[in-house]
Amino acid sequence: METNGYDGPSADDNLQKKTDNLARDIIEKIADKWTILVIDTLGTHGELRFSRLREEVGGVSQKMLTKTLRQLERDGLVTRYVHPVIPPRVDYQLTPLGRSLLEKICGIWDWVEAHMGEMENARHQFDRGEKDAKEPERAVSHAPSAHGDATWYPRTPE
């Protein structure tokens, strides 16, 4: 009996797919602005009560903060400690896993600080150009070149 040599996905392929899916899931969650701000706030202030965390993050609703904290707790990035007192007191803090993610998030802040002037300048130029133009500039795609890539030219006013 002949075979085509293909026995289905290998264990390496399955592991890579699982890794890719987990990475996409994590990126979706941490790309949310509240998640990044909560991680940064807990990293800066350490253990915080819910109400203090909400004040420090600023602008987040109670419902959204609760949802964000539950997801972070589920992912092992935050721990929740309920003190056995009346009224109940709940504190949150980053886990070692959460602190390791904080290190990566700090890289974003460092990048922003290093390039803030360039970005502000680019925004200013863009905004000034949009206000001065009567009609937004449009690009026109021409047929692919000999190398297979399209060449883009600014559209001239008609």
Q: Where are the domains of the chain?
A: 13-116
Q: Which residues pair with 91 in a beta bridge?
A: 49, 81
- Paired tokens of 105: 């998030």
- Residue 89 CA to chain centroid, in angstroms? 30
Q: Residue 84: is its pLDDT beyond 80?
A: yes
Whether residue 96 is preceded by a cis peptide bond, meaning omega within 30 degrees of 0, is no
Give the tens place of pLDDT for each residue, 25-47: 878 877 788 999 999 999 999 99
pLDDT tops 70 at residue 154: no
Reported for 41-48, long-range contacts at CB under 8 A and 24+ positions apart, including other chains, are 42/78, 42/92, 42/93, 42/94, 42/98, 42/102, 43/94, 43/98, 43/99, 43/102, 43/105, 43/106, 46/93, 47/81, 47/91, 47/92, 47/93, 48/91, 48/92, 48/93
Per-residue pLDDT, 8: 59
How many C-beta atoms surround the C-beta of residue 53 within 10 A?
Answer: 23
pLDDT of residue 68 exceeding 80, the answer is yes
Report field, pTM of the whole predicted structure over 0.75: no
Residue pair 63/69 in contact (Cβ under 8 Å)? The answer is no
Distance separating the N- and C-terminal Cα atoms of the chain: 68
Distance CA 67, CA 29 (A): 11
The larger pLDDT score, comparing residue 16 to residue 145, is at: 16
Token pair listed for 111: 């990048």
Structural fold of domain 13-116: Arc Repressor Mutant, subunit A (1.10.10)
Q: Which amino acid is at 154?
A: P
